[in-house]
């Protein structure tokens, strides 16, 4: 029989999210359970668990500084020789972003697993306990950053939330998972804006981001990464101000190819200097752009990372 002291130790970092949420008197769900509360719901498992109470937020409210704080805590836990693996309990609205940041900043040689829930802890069929049990067991094998959710195990590059009302909430935009050098510089002080593009869009929002001091911009473009002539002109102004622009798409899946012209298509955006994101959708494109800017990447290096 293995003594408790010799069982592997997994750190479980609590940040809030639906997995920790219950409905209040007004009927709205918000984080109410601690990480230890959630661990106490698990059946006996052949491992030891360390609850790390970091945040209690809905992930829709997380700033880049909050995401950086989560990544920093992951780094601290990974550096502990007693830790076999790390689990992060996180809200689903921004899970794909924080997970990518952790992957970019830590080339983890231990397992790091993100999980959460679609249904609150007091719902009629909460999914959090099963996701958590799966995640802590997954944190004993392999290495690198993965997602355990709804019975699936997924890598985090290209991850996006695909559904709001089903247990298997996440999918992948594609299968690429490139090798990038570590990007350890903190991103908390940066402003990277997403600009939604609609048919016939002008550049008012893009210009407003520039005026607000954005250091990078991601276009949530149409189709395979298309916009309008007005947006192309705005991209030219951004690049003149030394603000990199990345083109992603509101379409959730598939490789994005800058093949259309007409004055505002993806080909025209690329010709104006925008960098085409072949796979990453807007949320993750924002994180990768932030990490590259924080680490002093050149325009060519940014383009290569997105290609």
In this predicted model, what pLDDT tens digit does every residue of 268-294 receive, in sequence order? 999 999 999 999 999 999 999 999 999
Least confident of 1-5, 119-123, 277-281, 295-299: 1-5
The model's pTM is 0.96
User: Going by C-beta distance under 8 Å and a sequence separation of 6 or more, which residues neighbour residue 301?
Assistant: 292
175 contacts 196 by C-beta, under 8 angstroms? no
Average pLDDT over residues 111-135: 96
Structure tokens, 87: 């689990």
User: Phi/psi of residue 61, each to 5°?
Assistant: -100, 0
The DSSP symbol for 142 reads S
**Annotated catalytic, 34?**
no
Structure tokens, 44: 């006996």
CA contacts within 13 A on the Cβ side of 230:
11
CA contacts within 13 A on the Cβ side of 104:
28
The DSSP symbol for 19 reads G
**Alpha-carbon gap, residue 13 to 70, rounded angstroms:** 8
**Alpha-carbon gap, residue 207 to 203, rounded angstroms:** 6
Give the model confidence (pLDDT) of 68-118 as tens digits. 999 999 999 999 999 999 999 999 999 999 999 999 999 889 999 999 999
CA contacts within 13 A on the Cβ side of 279:
17
Structure tokens, 184: 């350890």
Burial class (CB in 10 A: 0-12, 13-18, 19+), 3: exposed
Question: Which member of 18, 92, 115, 247 is catalytic?
Answer: 18
């Amino acid at each position: 029989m293995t003594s408790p002291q010799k069982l592997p130790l997994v750190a479980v970092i609590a940040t809030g999210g639906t997995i920790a949420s219950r409905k209040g008197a007004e009927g709205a769900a918000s984080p109410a359970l601690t990480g230890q509360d959630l661990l106490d719901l698990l059946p006996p498992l052949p491992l030891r668990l360390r609850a790390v109470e970091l945040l209690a937020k809905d992930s829709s409210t997380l700033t880049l500084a909050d995401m950086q704080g989560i990544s920093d805590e992951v780094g601290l836990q990974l550096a502990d020789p007693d830790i076999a693996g790390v689990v992060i309990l996180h809200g689903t609205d921004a899970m794909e972003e924080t997970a990518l940041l952790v992957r970019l900043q830590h080339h983890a040689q231990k397992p790091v697993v993100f999980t959460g829930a679609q249904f609150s802890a007091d719902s009629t069929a909460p999914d959090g306990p099963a996701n958590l049990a799966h995640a802590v067991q997954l944190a004993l094998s392999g290495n690198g950053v993965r997602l355990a959710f709804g019975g699936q195990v997924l890598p985090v590059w290209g991850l996006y939330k695909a559904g709001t009302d089903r247990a298997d909430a996440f999918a992948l935009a594609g299968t690429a998972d490139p090798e990038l050098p570590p990007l350890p510089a903190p991103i908390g002080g940066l402003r990277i804006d997403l600009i939604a593009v609609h048919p016939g869009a002008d550049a008012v929002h893009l210009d407003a981001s520039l005026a607000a001091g954005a250091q990078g911009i991601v276009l949530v473009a149409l189709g395979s990464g298309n916009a309008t002539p007005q947006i192309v002109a705005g991209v030219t102004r951004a690049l003149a101000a030394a603000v990199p622009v990345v083109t992603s798409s509101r379409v959730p899946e598939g490789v994005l190819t800058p093949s259309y012209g007409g004055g505002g298509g993806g080909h025209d955006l690329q010709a104006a200097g925008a960098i085409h994101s072949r796979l990453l959708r807007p949320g993750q494109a924002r994180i990768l752009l932030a990490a590259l800017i924080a680490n002093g990447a050149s325009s060519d290096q940014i383009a290569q990372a997105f290609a």
